[in-house]
Structure 1
Amino acid sequence: MPKGENTRNHIIAKSAELFNQKGYAGSSLSDITESTGIKKGGIYRYFASKDEIAMEAYQYAGSVVVGKLKAAIELEDTAIGKLLVYLRVYENVVEAPPFIGGCPLLNLATESDDGNPQLREIARKGLAGTLDTMKAIIAGGVESGEFKADLDIEALATFTLSVMEGGIMISKLEGDNRHVRMNIESLMAYMRTLCLR
């Protein structure tokens, strides 16, 4: 990989960590230069603005988490197991999240709700992609006979994502992983009621 591409990727990766911990609004260009070890002129050689860095940084953070989710999902044989992966990758969110700072989707969606339309669109696409993947898992569970045929696939996907993000938010806020872990048990028990006996 050419040196320039390595430098650009380094800026994206370090900025992704910075934004996911301090937020976009809470991170200055000086924070980016400090985090990357690259002077302002070097940053501007690769990016026209902080917005441009942020857009690529959040996409990078999301891709890291998606990669970890995909790897863990491949190890599961059931739709329930695959859906629970979404919570299990965050089971130790306080000390060891799959990406430093917690869930990039949750952090970006919260921060960019109305303030930054471009970042909000990245969050919206991340949300749609996550829900689509969950719906495909659930549909596979219906087709295989794991879930009841009349299951509302969209409702279960939305509920699963809500339980995941809520558990992450509460665990991070309280500094205790027990909320994600309780949600894993509760979601598992609920999904078992949706299975064919």
Structure 2
Amino acid sequence: MTKGEETKQFIIERSAPIFNTKGIAATAMSDIMEATQLSKGSLYVHFENKEVLAASAIDYNMELLFTKVQTAVNQQRTAKDKLFAFVDALKDPLSPPVTGGCPMMNFGTEADDTNQLVKNKVNQAFDSGEQTIVNIIEQGIKDGSMNPDWNYREFAVMMFAMIEGGIVMSRVAGNIAKMNIITKNIKKMINEELL
């Protein structure tokens, strides 16, 4: 990496938790200046404006989340254990894998009616998460451990929606009681499809 690329990456890494915690609209360039100890001019050398920086920060937060979830999943061998690891990686929204909480939830809620670029990024992240679940279940069907008649594509949508809904409910309530109910029931549904 060149010095300029290193500085750009540094700015993204320092600003990502701020955008994920405060939101795009509420994050000021002065917040980024404080976090990076760089001048406004230095920031604008690397990013045309706050929106361009925010888009990079969103990508960084999403990649960080998916890397942490994928790492947990990849440590397991069976399809069932991989699905359980996916759930468990996100089961405590009060101690999220990414500072500020789930970036899909945070940015999706903020941008659903206001920012098409961010909305598209979040939608792609949803699709990617659902596809990860689909791929795991297809592995389980292929290896004979899961019901081949399972409507697993619909289940992937439901599982992902339940987790995301549990995240927002838990963060608003300040406890994970409802998320515990959700994760317990997702695991029960998975167990019902095992052979």
> TM-score category by the smaller chain?
over 0.9
- Deviations along 1:61-113, one digit per CA (max 9) or x if unpaired, are 1111111112111121222221222321123321x211001111111111111
Percent identity between matched residues is 30
Q: Residues of 2 paired with 1:113 and 1:52: CA distance?
A: 18
* Larger CA deviation: 180-189 vs 9-18: 180-189
Q: Residues of 1 paired with 2:87 and 2:36: CA distance?
A: 31
Q: Residues of 2 paired with 1:93 and 1:36: CA distance?
A: 27
What residue is the counterpart of 1:175 in the other structure?
A: 174
- In the TM superposition, residue 180 of structure 1 has moved relative to its aligned partner by 2.4
- In the TM superposition, residue 124 of structure 1 has moved relative to its aligned partner by 1.3
Contact 1:87 1:180 in 2 (8 A): no
Over 6 Å off, 4+ runs: none
- In the TM superposition, residue 58 of structure 1 has moved relative to its aligned partner by 0.6
What residue is the counterpart of 2:35 in the other structure?
A: 35
What residue is the counterpart of 2:147 in the other structure?
A: 148
What residue is the counterpart of 2:121 in the other structure?
A: 122
Q: Residues of 2 paired with 1:97 and 1:128: CA distance?
A: 20
What residue is the counterpart of 2:51 in the other structure?
A: 51
Q: How does 1:103-122 map to 2 (within 5 A)?
A: 103-122=102-121
Contact 1:86 1:164 in 2 (8 A): no
Q: Residues of 1 paired with 2:84 and 2:23: CA distance?
A: 27
Give unpaired runs (5+ residues) of structure 2: none
What residue is the counterpart of 2:96 in the other structure?
A: 97
Amino acid at match of 1:87: V
- Deviations along 1:21-48, one digit per CA (max 9) or x if unpaired, are 0111111222221222211101001000
Q: Residues of 2 paired with 1:191 and 1:73: CA distance?
A: 15
Query: Is 2:185 the partner of 1:195?
Result: no
TM-score, structure 1 normalization: 0.93
Q: Residues of 1 paired with 2:124 and 2:9: CA distance?
A: 22
Give unpaired runs (5+ residues) of structure 1: none
Q: Residues of 2 paired with 1:189 and 1:148: CA distance?
A: 14
Amino acid at match of 2:17: E
Contact 1:168 1:179 in 2 (8 A): no
TM-score, structure 2 normalization: 0.94
Cα RMSD over matched residues?
A: 1.4
Q: Residues of 1 paired with 2:5 and 2:105: CA distance?
A: 29
How many pairs does the alignment contain?
A: 195
